[in-house]
Structure 1
Amino acid sequence: MNEKIGLKQYREEFEALPLEWKISHILSKLKFPFMRHNYLFCSVADERQRTCAEIEKSIKECNKSYLISADTFTAKTLYNYLRDNNGKILFLSSPDLWWVAGVSDVLCGALNTTPAGKPWSVGYPGEQTFIFTGVLILLSNQPLKMLTSNHRLKYMLRDIGVTQL
């Protein structure tokens, strides 16, 4: 009983934090090299620019190799981007990539792990698979509830930290 009250209080306090503090708190894990985390931030459209700026600021503060892309990827271009930038922090600020044909399959390989905690392989037809060792930070214009109610996305997003801003 006390555990549920504590979690509810934590969530309420977290929701009351300014956007900058929420993002900084969540992305502070990027400083730890032994942790493999991927992130999805659900942000309303009118806050998108501010959200992107705060995510970029937090990424830069972790002092690791990173790339920021606003490109809209196809499955093939995303596969190549992940392969060519493996090991880096990648912030893909083009929202809701998984709706593009085949992109969700590539993202699944980069985001998901087996029940034993081993990463999946990233693949594309006719190309060599690889293990993505970097960090993906994604942005969505959709509300969290909509994403988690979609069966395919719920499965794909099971191993990623999802935060509604």
Structure 2
Amino acid sequence: MISVQTQDFDVAEQYQLLRQQGEGAIVTFCGLVRDFNQQGKISGLHLEHYPQMTEQALQQIVNDARARWPLGNIRIIHRVGELDAGEQIVFVGVTSQHRDAAFNAAQFIMDYLKTRAPIWKKEKSAQGDQWVASKNSDIQAASQWLDKEDS
């Protein structure tokens, strides 16, 4: 299930929803809005997206993960709108019968989400607001999957 939303989410509730399928492995990741960047302190983010485009891109990421690994439930939540530093911004949860598949799929989904999801971020700071470009480290992390044949 994929959700792009303004409201916060409950990690424990999301875990319980993933657990209902009864797989042997559950891997979750929850990302927070950082209060810093390379230039210093930030107070929050403004996130924009095109709903249909974003949901299609996230669904493609899920489809790509399912093509690589035997997966059960997949849950992605990405928040948009105005978020303060320290708030939850993203949740990824993956179930599988095998822990390697669950770990790899969760990492793959996050790497692709950071580079392929059409969600634009503007950092807010005392020095002014600034749009955030993809980082080289995120692009490199996502490109590792192009060369891997995982099972």
Could you say whether these structures have the same fold, taking a TM-score greater than 0.5 normalized by the shorter chain as the test? no
Q: Which TM-score band (shorter chain)?
A: under 0.3
User: Normalising to structure 2: TM-score of the pair?
Assistant: 0.27
User: Normalising to structure 1: TM-score of the pair?
Assistant: 0.25
> When you count strand as a share of all residues, which structure comes out higher?
2
> When you count helix as a share of all residues, which structure comes out higher?
1
